[in-house]
Structure formats: structure tokens, C-alpha cells
Amino acid sequence: MEFKEVDSYNELQQKLKSSPKSYLLIYKSGAEQSECALANMQNIAIRIPKIQFLVVDVTKTRDIHQQYGVTTAPVLIEFEGNKPGQIIKGCHEPGFFKSFIENSLYSAVKDNGEKKTKRVVIYSTPTCPHCNTLKNYLKEQKVQFRDIDVSRDQKMAQEMVKRSGQQGVPQIDINGRLIVGFNKPKIDELLEI
């Protein structure tokens, strides 16, 4: 899917209403970091169908970034309907953007007759290989989970450290029981896999 250029805040609101999930890249044309983020996000957008990718250039459109308190560019904002969610600042590798988007889109489909759903929360960072291995394993097992990026959410990072006494990731909370690291046998036991 291609990026759609947005020329005003009103146009943005209309486009956000038309899609349950959208991503908005606020960038400044001619700036190195912004051009990097734009190129990397365009690389990802064509590989992820059914998602609305929007882009606004602050040199042309000045009423959008102010609405979201954005003072630097580039910034990627995730939207659920017209409500802003996570914000990613700066230029990142295409794999980082792809992982961020795929993890926020994932929700497992529950089969009929399946055991009672467990509440699963993963504390992770986008650059952690063990975190990605854990998330991929849970997706393969069709386990629905909430992913919290502790590199972006300091409050949740502090909560994680307070509960476990450790800063390392991944950490997984299964119905209130915390496991540090990708301890597959313990995870399988608590998930009844």
C-alpha cells in the first residue's frame, strides 16, 4: 500500500475515520533523518496490505503536527480510528518499523472449543532478538498477547522492574505470573500448551 499525502488537519480526520488502523508519518522534506524515515516507511508500506499509511510534510502543512504536540520530525504516530497511540521518533531501519507495525496489528484468532483464554502481557524492546522469538512463538501457538515496548514506556518499564527486580527483556506475565526470559518449558506449562 502506498502513502497518502495529507494536506490539512481536517483531511487527516476524514482519512482516519475511514480506517480502523492508520499510521501517520510527520516529516520535513529535505531533512536527512526525515528523508530516511520516509524511504524506510515506504519500503514497509508496500509489504503490509490493508493498512492506511498517511504522510504529512511540515514544510507544506503546518496545522497537523501542532495538534499532536510534535516538535521534531520525523515522527510516526499509530492511530486506532482517530485516536493517537504509540509514537516513534526518528529514523529507524525498515525491520524496526515492520516489527513495530506487525506486533501492534497481531491478534490471534480463537478457535471454537479452545481452552479459556489466558491474560498474556509481554514486556519487550524492538531491538531484542529473544523478544521477537518469544512473540513469534506465541503467534505460532495462536496465543493472544499484549506487547509493551518498555523502551518507549518508562512507567511500564518501572512497573516491570518493580515486579521482577530485573531490567532484562523479554519478560512475560501469564495471568499474573511473571517469567523473565524466553523460558519455553515454563511458558508452555503456564499456557497449558
CA distance 155 to 162: 11
Evaluate if pTM is beyond 0.75: no
> Residue 118 pLDDT > 90, yes or no?
no
User: Collapsing DSSP states into helix, strand and coil, what is residue 60?
Assistant: coil
- Whole-number pLDDT of residue 110: 40
Q: What is the pLDDT of residues 65-81, one digit of tens each?
A: 888 888 889 999 888 88
Sign of CA dihedral 54, 58, 63, 69: positive
C-alpha cell at 124: 519487550
- Whole-number pLDDT of residue 103: 64
Min mean pLDDT across 70-84, 110-124, 158-172, 174-188 is at 110-124
Query: 41-46 long-range CB contacts below 8 Å, 24 or more apart?
Result: 41/3, 41/76, 41/97, 42/2, 42/3, 43/94, 44/94, 44/97, 44/98, 44/101, 45/1, 45/2, 45/3, 46/1, 46/2
Percent of the chain with pLDDT over 70: 90
- Whole-number pLDDT of residue 66: 84
Q: Name the band, by pLDDT with cuts 50, 70 and 90, for residue 111.
A: very low
Which span out of 36-45, 51-60, 90-99, 115-124 was modeled with the highest average pLDDT? 51-60
Q: In the chain, what are the domains?
A: 3-105 (3.40.30.10), 120-191 (3.40.30.10)
Q: Name the band, by pLDDT with cuts 50, 70 and 90, for residue 141.
A: confident
Answer yes or no: are the C-beta atoms of 143 and 153 closer than 8 Å: no
Report the candidate in 89, 63, 95 with the shortest Cα–Cα distance to residue 77: 89
- Whole-number pLDDT of residue 113: 46
Residue indicated by cell numbers 476524514:
14
CA distance 180 to 80: 30
- Whole-number pLDDT of residue 184: 93
Q: What is the DSSP letter of 68?
A: G
Summary mean pLDDT of the chain: 85
CA distance 6 to 25: 10
Q: What is the pLDDT of residues 2-28, one digit of tens each?
A: 678 999 999 999 999 988 888 999 999
Q: Name the band, by pLDDT with cuts 50, 70 and 90, for residue 108.
A: very low
CA distance 171 to 74: 30
> Residue 107 pLDDT > 50, yes or no?
no
Q: Identify any residues that bridge with 177 across adjacent strands, giving them in sequence order.
A: 174
Which span out of 42-51, 102-111, 173-182 was modeled with the highest average pLDDT? 173-182
Report the candidate in 79, 75, 80, 81 with the shortest Cα–Cα distance to residue 57: 75
